[in-house]
Amino acid sequence: MKLINTKPGIPGIRFNHQGEAEVLVWAPEAKEVTLSIETSGKKVALEKLEYGYWNSKTEEVKPGDSYQFDLGDGKLLPDPASLFQSKGVHGASEAVDLDAFQWTDAHWANPSLPDYIIYEAHIGTFTSEGTLAAMETRLDYLVELGITAIELMPVSQFAGPRNWGYDGVFPYSVQDSYGGPQAMQSFVNACHAKGIAVILDMVYNHMGPDGNIFGQFGPYFTKKYNTPWGEAINFDDAWSDAVRHYFVENVLMWFRDFHIDGLRLDAVHAIKDFSPVHLLAEMKMRTEELSKSTGKQHYLIVEMDLNDTRYIKPGSENGYGMDAQWVDEFHHALRVSSGQEKSGYYSDFDPITSLAKSFRDAYVFDGIYSEHRKRTFGVKAEGFPGHQFIVFSQNHDHVGNRMLGERTSQLVSFEMQKLLAGTVMVSPFLPLLFMGEEYSESNPFQYFVSHTDPELAEAVRKGRKSEFAAFHIEGDAPDPVGEETFNNSTLQWNLLEQEPHQTMFRYYKALIKLRKEQPALRSADRSGLEVTVPEGSETIILERNTGGQLILGVLNFSKNTEEVTLPAGHNWRKLIASSDEEWNGKQTLPEKTEGKLTVAAESFSLFAAL
């Protein structure tokens, strides 16, 4: 008998060096479990272990075979730990030998987190083909841009070919329309050959509805808590040991078998766990164990809506040990500073002053009252290095969760777009770009699904409409089920051959180059940061004094030119100015300056002290 504390093994089917298939499935209420091999028609009875596990070692299953499980009632179900659903969420699982791939990245070293310049991409709309193989052909483009880490929106199998990925139902799998697991391994291997790390977005706070068979195997969910998506995943109720094991092993699989460099964990505030050791802390501990055995560094990054530093504190300080987190509040403050509307959750943020506070403190709400929430919110983030906070001017959520999915390029001027980019790059935090922003992509990024259940599809339509009630938007949202909504969201690579898109791309390249080469910009040290807002202005003056260098950023969000007084005692050398004619601006700033400087409306200027 295997005991739970001996680590029961990896869920699903794995092939050992002897060519045997090692099968492990958790079905605590089943009286018998049979592996049904669709390809050969053979059946293998599994042996019952303690704590609801069933296993077998067999040579009857070969890589490429289709298989399902029979839990004693004659109904065939796919594997909850399926690596490949080549026939979709409702079809049989396909056995995969993950060790068969020939890796060539033995000398790859994951960059240190402060060196990450992240590019978020959705595989389905990144190219017209919508596959990992097609994305591989664009890696040289990302290298030219200066990207050091690409973040993939979720790849876990979802219904049909169109989805953001957050409705996945097989966390161990790679979406069939993207190319499956071998395509993922090939993609990561190719990225490493180009010097690019790979972050994978994973959803551990809920399962999608279409094709969700988990409840038929065991108590993967609990009625103790509710989430926006229904019953919470069972991380601390009866039978939760096996559920936790399932998800922890999933983290390790991506790192070990797919050579993924980092995971971005979606909406971890919706993970309900009051265990003595939180699920995230357990994931971190097991990741560190893996790193010690392989010598490879892996990062865990979280998205959360709590402004709670417990998530990024090390375990030695009773934290969960996450390496970094997204900071939505920086985006919200930046958005309203650019003149966009303050409806919905943006109503809590003031132009300029909220942004200046986020520069200083990371969190805008760090123990102060939130009118939108009607309560005091957050804690202070003092003492945490800048690389633990990821900031952006747009991402999939804040574009795609608009009713029409408009990108920044459709909402603000060309000059303001350049200012937003500069604001992100001059911050002491980690920058993230959303695919296409670097050349001012004009297509929207809208919400799309391809659910097979008509009632579910209609529920999604109604849900999207009600979601925008708080934003007081009139009209109808694009049909999320319609194929045209998906097609309208695909990048237009031909724009790179046109103006002003070429200029925007060159501008982003220049910004990223400065971020990498200037010591004060590259540093994650927040202690050498000073932020001032001249009285009565819409301008932020930001100083970063670290790495033996003093950098000055002038961010003018006003629609008028502004005269600013530069810090005394220095001559300043221009590094970049978005208003220069080189970037299609109308006011080229002098190469050197001191004292006072007149900056253009909606402009970003960056100087180094001589």
Closest C-alpha among 264, 71, 46 to residue 149: 264
Helix (H) or strand (E) holding 544: strand 539-546
**Residue environment code for 83-94, b if the CB has 16+ CB neighbours within 10 A, otherwise e:** bbbbebbebbbb
Closest Cα partner for 81 from 229, 257, 232, 199?
A: 257
Q: Specify the 3-state DSSP secondary structure of 556.
A: strand
Helices 414-426 and 328-337: angle between axes, nearest 10 degrees: 140
Separation CA 486–CA 491 (nearest Å): 11
Pick the closest to residue 569 from 595, 589, 546, 547 (CA basis): 595
Torsion of CA 495, 496, 499, 504, to 10 degrees: 120
CB of 568 within 8 A of CB of 558?
Answer: no
* Helix, strand or coil, per DSSP, at residue 500: coil
The conformation of residue 589, written as its DSSP 8-state character, comes to P
Q: What's the rounded Cα separation, in Å, for the pair 77 and 91?
A: 8
- Give which of 490, 395, 440 is closest to 151, Cα–Cα: 395
In a 3-state reduction of DSSP, which class is residue 45? strand
The tokens describing 578, both together, are 């978005």
* Residue 522, both tokens: 């590259």
With 0-12 CB in 10 A as exposed, 13-18 as middle and 19+ as buried, what is 426?
Answer: buried
Q: What is the 3-state secondary structure (H, E, C) of 191-251?
A: HHHCCCEEEEEECCCCCCCCCCCHHHHCCCEEEEEEECCEEEECCCCCCHHHHHHHHHHHH
Which H helix or E strand runs over 150? strand 149-152
Report CA-CA distances (Å) from 589 to 315, 509, 583: 49, 20, 12
* Residues with active-site annotation: 266, 303
* Cβ 337 vs Cβ 351: under 8 Å: yes
CB 602 within 8 A of CB 558: yes
DSSP state of 170: B
Determine the distance from the C-alpha atom of residue 606 to the mean position of all C-alpha atoms in its chain, rounded to a whole number: 29
Q: ∠ CA 252-253-256 to the nearest 5 degrees?
A: 80
Task: Say which residue the tokens 């699989």 belong to.
Answer: 253
Eight-state DSSP code of residue 157: B
- State how far the Cα of 468 lies from the Cα of 397, in Å rounded to an integer: 14
Q: Which two tokens stand for residue 25?
A: 């499935």
